[in-house]
Chains A and B, each alone.
Chain A
Amino acid sequence: MSRLLRMLTDLALARGVLRARHPPPEPEDHADPTRYDAGAPAWAELALVVLLLLCGACFAAFAVLLALAGDTQLLGATAGGGLALLAAALVLAGLRVAPRETAVEPREDAPEPEETAEDERLLGAVADGVSRRRLILGAAGIAGTGAILAAAAPVTALGPSARVLDESPWRRGVVLVDEEDAPVLADDLEVGAFITAFPRGADKRELGSPVVVVRVRPDELELPAARRTWAPEGLLAYSKICTHAGCAVSLFRYPTYEPGSSPPALACPCHYSTFDVRRAAAVVVGPAGRPLPQLPLAIDAQRQLVAGGPLSGSVGPAWWGTRRS
């Protein structure tokens, strides 16, 4: 334990600072590492020939198979096999056939101080005999800033302004339709059911469009007082786009067994943010920072599901200044 503490304090205090070290001494051996062995054993030369011939055969087979539109496995096996044989041939040539040599090469050492000084004098020569150096430098700075601004300005042409982010097509009275544009009927959904719905006539790919509709038993609901009327007959709708990172909340856990089991919840498969559908999609577990926006539902005369109003908050991943509800 005391060792642990000592190491922690070492780390915290960066104690190495206090124990300055010196560069390690040069090793003091007098070994001469150079060597040169030439001459290849007969087996190595023969093996090299065999490997190269097999390699050529493999590549030829690949070419024929490709021309015949052969299947991927055969193509991979022939091309990969050819490359593997080539690798073996090259390594064999390098290790056993060509001369083996260990050489010593000197390393260029520290720069000569005079040379560095000469470089600095030459670079400084640009200002020889110039008296208004600061003024010129300042003017150059202004020119540079202008050039950077001019270069950066076209970036704003890339996309529209961020104001478009808060829009959603849901309004009071908009009919919920499925992927094939057929209206969603209240009686099509049993308790525990889970479907995806869209606002009729809107662009389905817009993040504000897709909602999940689930049905739970009305007596399970624990919605806040202001939302009591939003879930007729236990039918609930929430935005399908996760408020954490924008994936589709495409898992619905509806317990089929009774007390003690987890609450009915929607979950996102990307980072497993889990939302309790009975309690206005409150976050049960996971990284999401706010509930899924809820869509108030109503049932019209033809038993079709319609929106009772807009979504309760902004859809999907947030950004600086997004309204939370």
Chain B
Amino acid sequence: MTPTDPVAFVDDRLRTSRPLKAVLRYVFPDHWSFLLGEMALYSFVVLVVTGTFLALFFDAGTSEVVWHGPYAPLDGAQVTTSYASALDLSFKVPGGLLFRQTHHWAALLFVVAITLHLLRVVYTAAFRKPRELNYLVGVLMLGLALLEGYAGYSLIDDLLSGMGLAIGWSVSMSIPLLGGAISTLIWDGPYPGGEAFLPRLFIVHVFIVPAVLAGLIGLHLAMIVRQHHTQFRGPGRREHNVVGSPMWPGYALRSLGWLAATSAVLVLLGGLVQINPIWQWGPYQPWLGENGAQPDWYLGWLIGALRLMPGFDVTAFGRTLVPNPFFGGLLFPTVVFGLLFTFPWLDRVAFTRDRAKHHLLERPRDNPRRTGFITAVVVWVATVFAFGASDRIFLALQISYDLQLWLFRALFFVAPVVAYVIARRWAEGLRRSGAHPLRGVQADVVLPPRQPADARVGSDAARREG
């Protein structure tokens, strides 16, 4: 034992050699779509690093100060310490603006990556037994990521975050029976809230949600390691094995490269592409508003739902019972997340009747009705999302707001049905032809999994005749 041999040094004390060997030989199947989850993980890493830096300077307070700095329009303005410290980060702290903007871009990419990863998982049926638990953890993390992002951009107390908080307050108020009580508890009084509100939001944003997210990420990865990755069908790939690159050296180097690449894109965006210029929005006051205000992209489906809802409250005896924001702000996301959380069981009941364990993935074409259903839900949410940009559509295309409103209300019902039909037929066509959607027909077609190809062609032909 020489001090120059760190592996032996650690092993001698902690008996690490056996687990270390298991880690180094852990096999990752190679497929580009498995990088989406890693992109989410690495965005989270960037968020933690940049967020830690920001937390060293940010002061989530509501007491008023006079800000002085190099930005002339706000020099001498009376603002809250939250807004003042965010201005300091943008104008005075060396590298502060780079960190702030990188943090914001990373938040956007974090949710993009989680969403794409979720789509990959549902379209390829990776959520099936034995992975239902890990799927639930993933959906939970998506919900937390939305909450975390909203809390983050609401902290700064600029005009845009104030408008977002007003909407959050209204949605919270609309909770049946308990809305008023819950909202005054959270906000420490009626809107815009007491002195405790922003510090509370700060703790939620920098401690509670990130800690829960970090724990869930650990759980997510631990469950993956326990069960090993899924893999697509291919030569030598079986239900009871994993074929791919071992962790060391190839996969670890490439994955660290992916971490560096994700960080590089985010830092370049943070340095070169302006995002959320809070000094242009100005400080928030409840009586101020701004036209063309848009939330971060991942809340677009909620602003769309709030805008799309016909104008009525549920009332009785001259009193409001269920105010309008309940439908777009609470009911709609509850339905969407309800679908997401129950999907592994819904899939079993509606599409497969299959209780067996699966480690080999399906391709979207392998279950056309499932593919149709997922596409219908995606298009349904995307329709609402698109209407969240209705004011931008008006500016860009000059389609009147009223016309768009009725158009999108119709699309809300029609688009998912059309999407179901098209996606299902597309999947059925691909399954029949054996073509790759992007590369066309190739020689090494993998046989469809459920039954021999000629049997399926026969049954399809029979169905067409019948």
Kindly provide the distance from the CB of A18 to the nearest chain B CB, expressed in whole angstroms.
9
Residue of A nearest to B187 (CB): A159
Q: List the 4 closest pairs (A to B, CB-CB), nearest first.
A: A76-B271, A289-B313, A90-B257, A94-B253
Chain A contacts of B373 at CB under 8 A? 11
Residue among A10, A29, A107, A318 making CB contact with B173, cutoff 8 Å: A318
Inter-chain pairs besides A73-B272, A323-B319, 20 sampled, C-beta below 8 Å: A14-B349, A21-B352, A23-B354, A29-B236, A81-B264, A83-B260, A87-B263, A95-B254, A106-B240, A158-B185, A159-B194, A162-B184, A207-B192, A210-B286, A245-B167, A248-B289, A287-B325, A288-B311, A320-B176, A322-B323
Report yes or no: B307 in contact with A26, Cβ–Cβ below 8 A: no
Q: Which residues of B contact A108 (CB under 8 A)?
A: 228
Q: Mark A62-86, 1 if CB is under 8 A from B, else 0.
A: 0000110100111111011111101
From 286 to 321 in chain A, residues with beta carbon under 8 angstroms from any chain B beta carbon are 286-290, 316-321
Task: Give which listed residue, B234, B311, B449, contacts A273 with CB less than 8 A.
Answer: B311
Does B287 contact A247, Cβ atoms closer than 8 Å?
Answer: no
- Of the candidate stretches A96-104, A112-120, A135-143, A183-191, the one touching chain B is A96-104
A27-B233, A72-B271 known; A159 vs B318 contact (CB < 8 Å): no
Within 8 A of A (CB), among B418-465: 420-421, 424, 446-447, 449-450
Interface size class of A (residues with CB under 8 A): 35 or more
Instruction: Supply 21 A–B pairs (Cβ within 8 Å), ascending by A.
Output: A11-B372, A11-B373, A76-B101, A77-B271, A86-B257, A90-B253, A90-B256, A90-B260, A95-B250, A159-B189, A161-B181, A245-B325, A246-B170, A251-B289, A271-B306, A271-B307, A285-B405, A316-B170, A317-B323, A318-B313, A325-B318
Q: CB of A155 within 8 A of chain B? A: yes
Whether A244 contacts B180 by the Cβ 8 Å rule is: no
Binds A, one of B113-121, B210-218, B290-298: B290-298
Residues of chain B within 8 A (CB-CB) of A164 are: 184, 189-190
Q: Once the chains are docked, how many angstroms separate the CA of A67 from the CA of B171?
A: 46
Q: Which residues does chain A contribute within 8 Å of B242, judged by CB atoms?
A: 104-107
Assuming the contacts A24-B450, A104-B241, A107-B228, asked whether A19 and B170 have C-beta atoms less than 8 A apart, the reply is no
Query: Which of B167, B241, B260 makes the CB contact (< 8 A) with A106?
Result: B241
Decide if B307 touches A84 in the complex (CB within 8 Å): no
The answer to whether the Cβ of A268 comes within 8 Å of any Cβ in the partner chain is: yes
Whether the Cβ atoms of B194 and A16 lie closer than 8 Å is no
Binds A, one of B7-15, B91-99, B336-344: B91-99
Determine the interface band of chain B, counting residues with CB < 8 A from chain A.
Answer: 35 or more
Q: Is the beta-carbon distance between B249 and A289 smaller than 8 angstroms?
A: no
Interface residues of A in 242-262 (CB under 8 A from B): 244-251
How far is it, in angstroms, between the C-alpha of A249 and the C-alpha of B254 when the chains are bound?
52
A219 to B372, CA, bound (A): 58
> Is B244 an interface position by the 8 A CB rule?
yes
Select which of A76, A98, A159, A322 is within 8 A of B268 by beta carbon: A76
Contact assessment for B95 and A75 in the assembled complex, using a CB-CB cutoff below 8 Å: yes
- A88: interface (CB < 8 Å): yes
Task: Point out the residue from A17, A67, A82, A322 that lies within 8 Å of B350, measured CB to CB.
Answer: A17
| A317 cross-chain contacts in B, Cβ below 8 A | 169-170, 173-174, 323, 325
Chain A CB within 10 A, most for which of B171, B175, B184, B265: B184
Closest B residue by C-beta to A209: B287
Minimal Cβ-Cβ distance residue in B for A32: B236
Residues of A contacting B174 in the complex (Cβ-Cβ under 8 angstroms): 317-319
Write out the residue numbers on chain B whose beta carbons fall within 8 Å of the beta carbon of A316. 170, 191
Looking at the complex, which one of B184, B267, B285, B306 makes contact with A79 (CB distance below 8 Å)? Answer: B267
CB of A110 closer than 8 Å to a CB of B:
yes
Contact A210 B287, CB 8 Å, known A80-B267, A103-B244: yes
Given A16-B369, A83-B263, A31 and B235 touching (CB < 8 A)? Answer: yes
What per-residue 1/0 map shows which CB atoms of B241-281 lie under 8 Å from chain A?
A: 11111100111111011111101111111111000000000
Contact assessment for B320 and A318 in the assembled complex, using a CB-CB cutoff below 8 Å: yes
CA distance A322 to B288 in the complex (A): 24
| A-B contact number at CB 8 A | 363
CB of A268 within 8 A of CB of B94, answer: no
Return the CB mask of B175-215 against A: 1 if under 8 Å, else 0: 11111110111111111101010001000000000000000
Query: B26, B178, B257: which has the most chain A beta carbons within 10 Å?
Result: B257
Q: Which among B253, B293, B315, B353 is the interface contact of A16 at CB below 8 angstroms?
A: B353
Shortest Cβ distance from residue B270 to the other chain A in the assembled complex, whole angstroms = 6
Look across to chain B and name the residue whose beta carbon is closest to the beta carbon of A285. B402
Q: Does B69 contact A (CB under 8 A)?
A: no
Roughly how many angstroms separate A124 CA and B402 CA in the complex, as a whole number? 65
Q: Is A205 an interface residue (CB 8 A)?
A: yes
Q: Are A251 and B291 in contact (CB under 8 A)?
A: yes
Query: Is B319 within 8 A of A84, CB to CB?
Result: no
Q: Does A283 contact B (CB under 8 A)?
A: yes
The answer to whether A287 and B268 have CB atoms under 8 Å apart is no
Tell yes or no: A131 within 8 A of B by CB: no
B63 → A minimal CB distance (Å): 14
Contact check: which of B191, B270, B390 meets A246 at CB < 8 Å?
A: B191
Question: Which chain A residues in 209-259 approach chain B with CB under 8 Å?
Answer: 209-210, 240-241, 244-251
CA distance A29 to B236 in the complex (A): 7
Q: Considering the chains assembled together, what is the distance between the CA atoms of A246 and B323 in angstroms?
A: 12
Say if the beta carbon of B328 comes within 8 Å of chain A.
Answer: yes
Contact between chains at A290 and B236 (CB < 8 Å): no
Give Cα A22–Cα B98 distance, bound, in whole angstroms.
55
Cα separation A94 to B247 with both chains bound (whole Å): 11
Contact call A69/B94, Cβ cutoff below 8 A: yes
In Å, the complex CA distance between A121 and B311 comes to: 60
B264 x A16 contact (CB < 8 A)? no
Pick from A288, A290, A318 the residue with the most CB of B within 10 Å: A318
**CA–CA, A164 and B449, complex, Å:** 64
Q: Does A126 contact B (CB under 8 A)?
A: no
